[in-house]
Amino acid sequence: MRNVPDVAADAAVTTGVAVYVSSQGGWLQVGGTSVASPIWAGYLSNINAALHWTGLGNLGFFNPVLYSVGKTIGATPSDYMYDIVNGSNGYIPFGGPGYYNGFGYSNTTGNGSIWGSGFGLQLLLSGQQPGTAPGPLVVGLKSPATSTSATVKWTASSGAVGYAIGLYHAGALFNIVQGFVKKPPTTSLTFTNLIPNTTYNVFIWGFNASGGSANPGTASFTTAQ
């Protein structure tokens, strides 16, 4: 139902998506509320591919999965999404002010919009099947960082079928730069296309059908000038 949204995406006509329509002369910019659905469908297809690749099957019905994100640590889905705190869905000439946005869940944009790789990694860590979640791991640099790349390594996490890896700008939790999924026995990864003389933080979790590591393995590095 339109007045109980779960999530949101950029649906404005002025900042929508590019659609190629040959009969209309090529690329068009399209917006409207229906644009949010294919944006989320495409995004979740990537998450589904990661689940398949690590042997966890299909994402399935998204609604219960969405509300399980963060549940084990007392968080809510809006904590892992871009919370939209301004605006409303009202248009006075056609029936009143509607609902207004605020912090957390809003009856206009639900829990918020896609936080790219960050929210994707949290979905992978939200398994609810009975069993034991993966054990801890330790992360470190494999070699000194160059001006545009760095290689990290980590210890194996017991019971993990995959590793969720997030690279962030230091001091900016929501500014995830790159997100990856790797499978055992892989225990190293090289980040490329980095910014010289910049500090980054790395977070790595093991995950399986019962969830993710209780705490991520972390490391920090600064690229050369």
| Residue pLDDT, tens place only, 159-179 | 999 999 999 988 765 678 889
133 domain-assigned: no
CB-side neighbour CA atoms (13 Å) of 3: 3
| Residue pLDDT, tens place only, 56-70 | 989 889 988 898 888
The answer on 154 and 91 residing in a single domain is no
Contacts of 205 (CB under 8 A, 6+ apart): 121, 125, 134, 157, 163, 164, 212, 213, 216, 217
Provide the domain limits for residue 217.
139-222
CA distance 90 to 96: 6
60 domain-assigned: yes
CA distance 112 to 129: 26
**What's the pLDDT at 1?**
42
Q: Which of 8-22, 87-101, 110-124, 164-178 has the lowest mean pLDDT?
A: 87-101
| Residue pLDDT, tens place only, 7-38 | 998 877 777 788 899 998 999 888 877 888 88
We report the CATH number of the domain holding residue 173 as: 2.60.40.10
154 domain-assigned: yes
